[in-house]
Amino acid sequence: MRAVIPVAGIGTRLRPHTHTLPKVLLNVAGKPILGHILDKLVEREIRDCTVVVGYMADKVERYVRENYDLNVTFVEQKDRQGLGHSIWTARKTIDDEPLLIILGDTIFDVDFAPVLARDVSSLGVKHVDDPRRFGVAETNADGMVTKLIEKPEVPTSNLALVGLYYVRETRLLMESLDHIIDQDIRTRGEYQLTDALQVMIDRGAQFDTFGVDGWYDCGKPETLLATNRHLLEHQKNSGAQPEGCIICPPSYVAPSAQISHSVIGPYATVADGAIVENSIIRNSIVGSEARVQSVVLDESIIGNKAFLRGGANRLNVGDSSEIDFSR
């Protein structure tokens, strides 16, 4: 078993935070997005992993090397030409073992055990009301996938592909990716994984689907905060309450954070080394080594090493910024 995680994207919708960090290293509920994904691999004892990097690749590699004891190979996707191209870029790290492909900008709450025990390949899906911005799967009466369509203008199915792919016929996948690239088969200007999977189906491969109810997008500030709320609801509240402070669960306060005369939560994450003084922080993420003084924050994201003082606001502040409302 090998996991392939494409994380080459820039994350333009999460600027200004992605000016200084790749999207997958943004903190949510106490750890980077990529950390939540890798934790799932550790749970299933999947040790062989390919991470397809691009934007700020050195920071991604450093985080993984320093925090996980996995057999990881990093492959650079120099030209970002779609998800299919990303997996094709990793082809030299892939043998005949089954693959678990996990998109690097989404956190999943799913039990992989029954999926990995299947005799056929399987695609993670979720029923959505409007699937036009997703790839969709059509299935027959036996639940087998008959057709895959990337971002259809007129959807014929409400089964959206959520970014989890278990592929048993790995060699056929590589041949199918070679085919769409050699023939320059693009959808919306990119080489799509769904097109390669459709080639596999046309050549006799069998795919079924598995439902993924716990599917949490981290691609925009509002969805990052929504994912932060969900994850906090499902993990233990952090440690004891500092003297003179109130920590309202669910919240996460890193052990190295310094909190004084403040109310934290509910739904607040305060990362490593952050300092919060005389403030109320709820439904927000405060990055590592940020300093927040005398503020009331709601639905806000404060970047790493940012400084914020004074006022009640909803803010989206990038790393190393300084905002002072007290003057």
Q: What is the CA radius of gyration of the chain?
A: 21
pLDDT score of 262 more than 90 = yes
pLDDT for the residue 239: 55
pLDDT score of 165 more than 90 = yes
- Token pair of 284 as six digits: 């927000």
Residue in this structure with the two tokens 């990055």, named with its chain if needed: 287
pLDDT score of 196 more than 60 = yes
Report the CATH number of the 237-324 domain: 2.160.10
Pairwise CA distance, residues 22 & 36, whole Å: 15
Q: Which residue has the higher pLDDT, 65 or 216?
A: 65
Long-range CB contacts for residues 185-192, cutoff 8 Å, separation at least 24: 186/82, 187/150, 187/151, 188/150, 188/151, 190/81, 190/82, 190/83, 190/84, 190/85, 191/81, 191/82, 191/83, 191/84, 191/85, 191/88, 192/82, 192/83, 192/84, 192/135, 192/150
pLDDT digits (tens, 9 = 90+) for 36-85: 899 988 988 889 999 999 888 999 999 999 999 999 999 999 888 989 99
pLDDT digits (tens, 9 = 90+) for 76-118: 998 889 899 999 999 999 988 999 999 888 888 888 888 888 8
3-state secondary structure labels for all residues of 111-154: CCHHHHCCCCEEEEEEECCCHHHCEEEEECCCCCEEEEEECCCC
Pairwise CA distance, residues 41 & 111, whole Å: 11
User: Quick check: 215 and 126 in contact, CB under 8 A?
Assistant: yes
- Token pair of 203 as six digits: 């050549």
User: Quick check: 281 and 262 in contact, CB under 8 A?
Assistant: yes
Mean pLDDT of 127-143: 83
Phi-psi region of 185 (alpha: psi -120 to 50; beta: other; left: phi over 0): beta
Pairwise CA distance, residues 321 & 231, whole Å: 27
Report the CATH number of the 2-222 domain: 3.90.550.10
Nearest CA-CA partner of 123 in 206, 227, 22: 206
pTM to 2 decimals? 0.86
- Token pair of 64 as six digits: 């993984």
Across-strand partners of 293?
277, 309
pLDDT for the residue 220: 81
Is 269 in a helix, a strand, or coil? strand
Distances (CA, A) of 201 to 138, 146, 147, 190: 12, 7, 8, 20
Mean pLDDT of 267-295: 92
Nearest CA-CA partner of 26 in 259, 314, 301, 312: 301
pLDDT digits (tens, 9 = 90+) for 240-253: 677 788 899 999 99
Q: Which residue has the higher pLDDT, 174 or 16?
A: 174
Q: Which residue has the higher pLDDT, 159 or 317?
A: 159
Pairwise CA distance, residues 90 & 207, whole Å: 22
Q: What is the mean pLDDT of the chain?
A: 87
Q: Which residue has the higher pLDDT, 306 or 155?
A: 306
**Where does 203-293 have alpha helices with state H?**
221-233
Domain map of the chain by residue range? 2-222, 237-324
